[in-house]
Amino acid sequence: MKKVNIANKNKDMTSQNFDPRKGIGILGGTFDPIHLGHTQSAQAVANELGLSKVLLIPAHIPPHKVSAELVPHASAEQRAAMVEIACQKSELFICDHRELKRSGHSYTVDTLKELKQQYPKQPLFFIIGMDSLHTFTTWHQYQEILSLCNVVVNTRPNFSIEQLNDETKTLLRNCQTTDINQLKSSDSGKIFCANECLFDISSTHIRQRLAQKQSCNKHLLPSISEFIHKNKLYR
């Protein structure tokens, strides 16, 4: 498969606002399209943990999206362009293209290995949603993922541990911490449930609304909406 040739035109870690001692937040996803649920929840995690940078990493071929209805609707270039737009006016976010430049499936463990080599002295905080926590123990080499980073879960209102499967409950018993100081002093291996995020919207729902020509102004940055309209996406 031909690699996607995308140049990173956005910011890097040389920003004066970046404090490496605070660690790096990481939010991966298809971003099809990126919406305020992504950015506002990541911003909330950064505020809670005191992070100065969060990498937004668009996936090339997400390994969990194999059926025809779940593959990306926009091209890799278009999805990356929308993430770049979301980063333009933010001091927090950086668009990282490494998975788009990699052929084949985008495995989280490979990305984290690369980031750990690139930033060996900086703790990595991998941000996931509740839906991902439910399936985390099925991920490719999930134990090694935890050896490379701490996992921060964006929780939802009325979340109960009892909703999780037994394997995930065991994982939480072994790895979860509720002490933010313990989390930040750990280089890897911890799972932390962040404060509840009330912004509950999905890219699937947004695509459905756009296909029906309904407004998504409450869920998308105006510049993202303009890009979608200009490129006639999700119709």
Interval 134-173: pLDDT, tens: 999 999 999 999 999 999 999 877 777 788 999 999 999 9
- At 162, the amino acid letter reads E
Q: Is the pLDDT of residue 70 over 80?
A: no
d(CA 25, CA 125) in angstroms, rounded, equals 5
pTM above 0.75, yes or no: yes
Ramachandran sector of residue 111 (left: φ over 0; alpha: ψ -120 to 50; beta: rest): alpha
* pLDDT band, residue 106 (cuts 50/70/90): confident
Question: What are the counts of helices (DSSP H) followed by strands (DSSP E) for the chain?
Answer: 9, 6
Judged against a pLDDT cut of 90, whether residue 20 lies above it is answered with no
C-alpha distances (whole Å) from 43 to each of 47, 97, 107, 160, 169 are 6, 20, 24, 24, 27
Average pLDDT score, the chain: 88
Q: What is the pLDDT of residue 199?
A: 75
What's the pLDDT score for residue 2? Answer: 41
Both tokens assigned to 116: 């750990």
Going by pLDDT thresholds of 50, 70 and 90, the confidence category of residue 10 is: very low
Second-level CATH architecture of 20-201: 3-Layer(aba) Sandwich (3.40)
Domain coordinates in residue numbering, the chain: 20-201
Radius of gyration in angstroms for the set of CA atoms belonging to the chain, rounded to a whole number: 17
pLDDT of residue 21: 65
Whether residue 187 is predicted with pLDDT greater than 80 in this model: the reply is: yes
